[in-house]
A and B are shown apart, each in its own frame.
Chain A
Amino acid sequence: KQEVTQIPAALSVPEGENLVLNCSFTDSAIYNLQWFRQDPGKGLTSLLLIQSSQREQTSGRLNASLDKSSGRSTLYIAASQPGDSATYLCAVSIGRDDKIIFGKGTRLHILP
């Protein structure tokens, strides 16, 4: 059974720092991996999607990497800003039209 784990559960860093959020999954037979952002009481905003054949994706200050064989992904945020404060969710899809399995998230707080 696929399990997704995110470490750390919470993180506080000063504004301007670069940071890395970690995600691991137990079954490497994934179709793709997505990183989402969730603001308190709000919906899920997709940040990046990496296909299983890809190694990384970049969008602005965000870079996500995928090492499928070791079951790991990282989300790198450069030059963090207070507006980046949110919960970041890692999720894997195990089939073309199949469900997404989510991690519990990392709650990020950027200190002004």
Chain B
Amino acid sequence: EPEVTQTPSHQVTQMGQEVILRCVPISNHLYFYWYRQILGQKVEFLVSFYNNEISEKSEIFDDQFSVERPDGSNFTLKIRSTKLEDSAMYFCASRLGQASYEQYFGPGTRLTVT
């Protein structure tokens, strides 16, 4: 069964460094999302992406964040200058299209900022 994959599973970085989290959505899906979950808290929406542009972003998704679909398979989340409070589990999700509303989630990348 097709699934969303994410790499790396765990990333440790120092404060101020740039990180890129990678996702490979399900191959024929058209809508892509990033969410994050700080330890012990709710899963929070970051950004949605469709037709090579951002559809919506939350107030968390400030100028330090960016997303890209550099080729036909990858979907990346970049944090330019990480802060301690960026430490969280980051989930990528994808959805097939207009007639299919279920979002499929990847296993997540645990980001630890020291």
Contact = CB atoms under 8 A, between A and B. Distances in A.
B42 A104 contact: yes
A13 interface: no
A51 B101 CA distance: 9
Interface string B87-114: 0000100010010011111111010000
Given A97-B48, A97-B50, A99-B48, A44 B43 contact: yes
Contacts of B41: 104
B106 A43 contact: yes
A34 B91 CA distance: 16
A110 to B, nearest CB: 22
A83 B59 CA distance: 37
Contact of B42 (A49, A51, A99, A102): A102
Q: Does more than half of chain B's interface fall in helix, strand or loop, or is it mixed?
A: strand
Interface residues of A, number: 25
B108 A42 contact: yes
Contacts of A104: 41-42
B31 A44 contact: no
Interface of B: 31, 33, 35, 41-45, 48, 50, 55-56, 58, 91, 95, 98, 101-108, 110
